[in-house]
A and B are shown apart, each in its own frame.
Chain A
Amino acid sequence: MLAIRNLSKTYANGVHALNNVNLEIPNGMFGLLGPNGAGKSSLMRTIATLQEPDSGSIQLHGLDVLADKMAARRQLGYLPQDFGVYPKVNSEELLDHFAVLKGFTGRGERREVVESLLRQVNLWDVRKQKLGGFSGGMRQRFGIAQALLGSPKLVIVDEPTAGLDPEERNRFLNLLAEVGENVVVILSTHIVEDVTDLCPRMAIIRKGEVLLTGEPRNAIAELKNQVWRKTLKKAELAESQARFAVLSTRLVGGSPVIHVLSTTCPDVGFEQVDPDLEDVYFSYLQSDRRVAA
């Protein structure tokens, strides 16, 4: 159980990266959703002991993460956003290096750990290949392998699927799903499907504030019978956006399709659809926008 209380951080330029964040994260996958610049990475880095908050506390199974960073690091696996590698080193060598940094100082044990992890992430066959030659998906799999070194109790993955093709994305999410049973896994993303597919619990954050926390299906249930869809002509789009509470606009075959939040049918031509997490996500972002306006 990871407990985050009253976490706040203001950067030197005045941006409130974290604004009194409170989260209780049990074992299992936890999705952290938010648009770019919402403060996800700040939160992740803070939990990963790489950044100090102005105030607040973080407890991992009773351990005060901010006070005893060394102890926290021993239980931590972190795959940062935009993770890079030494291009001229092969994966086995680099994972071996990380293993030492994670505390595996015995040679025999380390070899086992490295082999086991490379096999899990299916990189064993290419272990002698220089990391510079890895594809994006392979590199992310290597990233998760290093994050899992030392059986961490807390795994943080920051936007891991950005830029992956669907096949690699699936493969990566499968890997994550296996991990996330007995430990806390925080998956930060702006891709709603990642959360839908994987996470029993989630939070939506924006401008450093937690807008929602809970189980995705409960959030979806709350929108039941309130989401309406209509395919428009391009010319009608502006008018519709002005008239209705539009959750999202997307093009299907070149024509705009809008989702509108409404307790009743907003207009002719709208059909009710089953809400999904994306609708939830947009509804929260928009409610916030409305409040702010």
Chain B
Amino acid sequence: MMRHFFAFDLRMLLRSPLTWATVFLFCLQALTATNTVGLGGTIGNANFNAPLVIANKVSIFTLMSMFFIALFVAQPLLRDQELGIAELFFSKPMRKSDYLLGRFAAGFSVCLGLFAAMLGLMALGVHMPWVEAKLVGTDQVSSYLWTFFVIVVPNLLFLAGGIALLAGLTRSILQVYVGILSFFALWGAAQAMGSQVENQLLVALLDPFGGRALDAATRYWVLADFNTRSLDLSGVLLANRLMWGGLGLVMLVIMVVRFKTLRAGTSRAWFKKRLPQSTTSARPKVKPTTFASFVPTFRPRTAVLQFLHASWFETRGVVRTSAYLMFLAIGAALYWANLLGANQVFGSDLYPVTSWALMIAARGMGLFLIITIVFYAGELIEKERAAKMHEVTDACPTPNVLPLLSKFVALTLASLVNVASLALVGVLFQLLHGYNKLEPELYVAGLSMEVLPYVQMSVLAIAVQAVVRNKYVGYLVMVLLIVLRFSAGKLGISDNLIIFGGAPSIEFSDLNGYGNHLTPYLTFQAYWLAFSLLLLTLAAAAWVRGTPVALRRRLQIAGEAVRQSLAAPVALTALACVGLGGWIFYNTHLQHTFRSDAEALNLRAEYERLYRATETLPQPKITAVDVAMDMSPKADMLDFKVRYTVTNPHQQPISELHVLVNPRLTLLSTNFGTTAKRDERFGLSMVKLSQPLAPGESATWEFGLSQVAQGFTNSGSQSLLLKNGTFLHSSRALPSFGYNRDGQILDPKERVKHGLPPLPAMAKIDSTAAHNIPLNAGNGVDASDDADWVDFNTVVSTDPDQVALAPGVLVKEWQADGRRYFHYRLTGKTSVYAAWLSGRWNVKRDQWRDVAIEVYADPKHTYNVDRMIEATKSSLDYFSTAFSPYQHKQLRIVEFPRTVGYFAEALPGIVPYAEHLGFIADVRDKSKFDMVYYVTAHEVAHQWWGHQLVSANVQGGYMIIESLAQYSSLMVMKKTYGKEKMRQFLQRELDDYLRGRGRDFLPEQPLALSENQPYIHYNKGSLAFYRLAEEMGEEALNRALQKFLAAHAFQGPPYPTSKQLLTFIRAEAGPEHEQLIADLFERITLHENRVTQATAVKLPDGRYEVSIEISAKKSYADPKGAEVPTPVNDWMEIGVFARPAGASERNEKVLALERRRIDRETTSLTFTVNEHPYEVGIDPYNKLIDRVSADNRMKVSSLD
């Protein structure tokens, strides 16, 4: 019997066109999943067909498959009831389980078959011509099979079981879809919160799709593992798979048991009111009188009033449904969770300022709006037909456009209600977190700005449903369109003129508002709104009342409507669309050259091909910089004159100068030669010097530069100025000479694609030529050798209501011609890095010895100004004592808008600092890590590491600049807050390092050879120097650094390398730390420490004897991650801890903590302690690099 049901339903499914449409859609995704289209991407540098990459991708596919599982599993279970023939089946002498399981098996088989096909296509997909063969490993059938059985089967069992249960209990396909969407949303929320949870094991176990478990099982994998290692099914992954697959089966069984073969609705509902009995047979009590005659009068405004009423009626119809309220509630809950989750930066809380709350809202609201819009567009358009009421409404004297227009308004209002609820949640969150500066106007402005694209999407959804006239096909089309729209970038389409709803991104900042981006954003939005309304009008024209008609007739009717009744709106919207589109085209394509992302990359490749040869062209060195900078933020105008004093350090004369300026600027004039050739694409001018520069000769050259206001581009305003809070960095303003290595493509995969030779991430540490190029702090891979140390002088002017800042002492300030002028001069030589800032800030001044400390913050963001000053003072104190005196007379910290970036940067005596980084951090909770203090100290440390001492632009250069800044700030932190606070930070650094090494494009280098690999020179750098300081002593290490500075500060070329630094360290540390130094800096060392046994015996004197058995292993990894074991011989801490019942690790008491040299794989130790021991540990504070930190500690089992 079951077999019969199975076969029958399988035939039904295989005959349905919807099945094949789904198969086609997903197979297409699978085939193209490999590369740029669809769910592309991989992990770091791993191959496209690495086992983990396949498993991860398929795990995501199963998540999306929920929607077709509903089609294949729930639909067959509910079909009979929908068609009203269920009773025909249930009155037959069959077993319920045969019926249900047969149908379930049919649907489930189709799902499994589809996934088998998808896996096959994925395997085929990596060999498609568009996939770079170098990034594809050897095919391994086993990894596809593994994925099928370990990922697909349990996931599908869980999903299909859940969906079948939902279908069986609710007996409504609508409820099933609502359930799926709710689950999807909850899963999204759990994903967002998952990373905040401390117990990652639990998180891994609780992900129904196994993604988190895969993550946990491969948490610290490196490249070599990804490409070669096959996944094994054990531990948390096995538990996860068994749990969720098993849950699926359990749900299926429950469904079969609980499925009622009675008619739906005959059982007592839980909450439904019983109907009043008397009314069902309401008898006429009075003989009806004759009908009163009311005749409506039709006026021109009747249609408008009808439209308003219908809009209201439809809106109420949407917002009162339980599904809508559920989406709303889940969206609000998710927003709350996101607010909680994002409310932390480096472990510090944030003040929930409105601009931040809006940013979080914008990040998460899309999903819910899209779900609501897509779902309700179908519901609304098919509402009358589903209720069998369409013939009545169609025969009413209403305009043809009424249904679509009113339904569009309803959908838009539903979106607005959705968004408004987010505003309420945001306000509530702010109030509960003690932030009571309510800014409703910001919510209104910000959320209206964000909701615009969804208004357009509402139109699209309505139009699609109105044209298709089949709810489910409409959904499918919408999903397809949305997927296409969001993969436009990956498909190489980035022109916002042709991506539906495309617009430059816009973000709000308390300092700058929406700034110069507002106008372009609104222009694009207006253009797409016009387009949408045109679409809506056309859909309304093709809207046929009553009985459906053939396509040809429908087009005829639409054509007539467009020519007659709808001529005006069609013409109007089309005109607006063309007009705005033309204006945008003029701006983005004629005023500016439009380049897609791919074209931009091509251009960079071309730059390298054309000009790489000029790398060796002798160019002068700059020895003094003098800039007259005129900024007009309000008028958005920028004019400046740069005067360089240059000298020729080469053996031959220089007769040709290659001047590069930011392509957003125009080089108006030079006073030293004639421009022989220009290449506007790169901002390159080749200047023939009027007088060649002889070897050793100096000259003063002037450059006139200007930013010509030119409307906007595809990505919004291109202006270098902001309305408030301009941060114009010298690298974006000043002309540079010769070949610009910054312009090169760095991504090895992209280089392969463009046929460029491999580029070493950095010059080898021994390439002496590169020792002459300085590496400058905080500037990425900047390899400019235009200057070594320069004199810096600038006069900067700005609008009268703003203050202009630049590095150096303020020599003079004055007003002239309605502008404010500031003259800054840096005393002494400095690196060429500078910035000009202009804005309206609140200034707080303080003093440390003879150094002026000034903090420029937005008037709303003055929370941490005192903290910054304090951190600056203690940093200056520590560094000037431990290393060398501070070289400037001032230290300014300046807030810049968050839209510029999320970083702080040390420039000579001035630290631009991002709005959301530090300025809105809430550091009142003393138990948490003080992020503001840390960042400030780090940037102050760069005044030494980066500005006193510049390293050579070779491997390990960043260790000198960044690792030493990390070390310096950690020492200041330790001094202020004590050792205990460091642990939280170091644990995060350890985790970031271990994860970073698995996700790197480049081979991992030892710390001393780090090649712009942040996880090495920041995260590992902190760990290495912190451990070194503990082993050799902070003072000894500082002595080494002091000597290093004394030898190399303000010096170069050649600039020092990490080799020189290590020489100084070795000299102070002595031979007993030789192995440690080599392990930390010159090798990739991994420890594997754990406690294998911990027992305690109570002694007669009341004390405890604790016996510990530990295992310690060590290995060295090569750059690809292959590990070679090596004998362990290290100093490690061994500890015994007590803990009050129920207390956490933070409150533990140290009973014993000793440093021991561990030189064997297993060691047994005995301690005698005074109190009842709770836990023991080897390296209990995780100072060593150990992938599994948890097993470093073990609870003590008592023997008594």
Contacts and interface: CB of A to CB of B under 8 A. Distances in A.
B272 to A, nearest CB: 10
Q: Interface residues of B toward A: which range? A: 35 or more
Contacts of A12: 550
A45 B317 CA distance: 28
A80 B549 CA distance: 19
A125 B310 CA distance: 26
Nearest to A123: B282
A52 B545 CA distance: 10
Given A50-B394, A85-B389, A101-B398, 8 more contacts: A45-B547, A76-B395, A76-B397, A88-B320, A89-B317, A109-B296, A120-B288, A151-B295
B393 A86 contact: no
B1184 to A, nearest CB: 65
Nearest to A135: B280
A120 B291 contact: yes
Interface in A49-108: 49-52, 70, 73-74, 76, 78-80, 82-89, 97-98, 100-105
B927 interface: no
Interface string B284-296: 1100111111111
Contacts of B388: 82-84
Contacts of B279: 125-126, 129
A80 B392 contact: yes
A122 interface: yes
Contacts of B302: 103, 105
Nearest to B385: A84
A245 interface: no
A234 interface: no
Contacts of B291: 116-117, 120, 148, 151, 178-179
Contact of A101 (B280, B281, B396, B546): B396
A66 to B, nearest CB: 12
B586 interface: no
B1143 interface: no
A105 B294 contact: no
A224 to B, nearest CB: 36
A273 B387 CA distance: 46
A37 interface: no
B983 interface: no
Q: Which 9 interchain pairs have the tightest Cβ spacing?
A: A50-B546, A84-B388, A103-B296, A105-B305, A101-B396, A80-B391, A73-B397, A74-B397, A100-B309
A51 B544 CA distance: 10
A121 to B, nearest CB: 8
B726 to A, nearest CB: 55
A133 interface: yes
Chain B CB within 10 Å — which of A70, A101, A104 has the most?
A101
B297 interface: yes
B271 interface: no
Contact of A49 (B282, B289, B310, B546): B546
Chain B CB within 10 Å — which of A49, A79, A82 has the most?
A49
A48 B397 CA distance: 11
A146 interface: yes
B275 interface: yes
B298 interface: yes
Interface in B386-412: 387-389, 391-398
B313 interface: yes
Nearest to B286: A122
B674 interface: no
14 contacts: A49-B395, A85-B387, A86-B317, A87-B387, A97-B313, A103-B297, A103-B302, A109-B296, A122-B284, A135-B280, A135-B281, A148-B291, A150-B294, A174-B288
Interface of B: 275-276, 279-282, 284-285, 288-298, 301-302, 305-306, 309-310, 313, 317, 320, 383, 387-389, 391-398, 545-547, 549-550, 553
A175 interface: yes
B294 to A, nearest CB: 5
A101 B282 contact: no
Contact of B306 (A103, A119, A150): A103
A250 interface: no
A192 interface: no
Contacts of B275: 129, 133
B295 A100 contact: no
Contacts of A88: 320
Contacts of B296: 74, 102-105, 109, 150
Interface in A118-144: 119-123, 125-126, 129, 133, 135, 138
A51 B389 contact: no
Contacts of A49: 394-395, 545-546
Given A51-B547, A83-B392, A133-B275, A175 B397 contact: no
Contacts of B293: 151
Nearest to B314: A97
B395 A48 contact: yes
Contacts of A122: 282, 284-285, 288
Contacts of B276: 129
A173 to B, nearest CB: 13
Chain A CB within 10 Å — which of B282, B290, B305 has the most?
B282
Contacts of A179: 291
Nearest to B546: A50
Contacts of A267: none
B526 to A, nearest CB: 32
B393 A101 contact: yes
Contacts of B297: 103
A264 B575 CA distance: 80
A113 interface: yes
Nearest to B285: A122
Given A126-B282, A129-B279, A135-B280, A50 B391 contact: yes
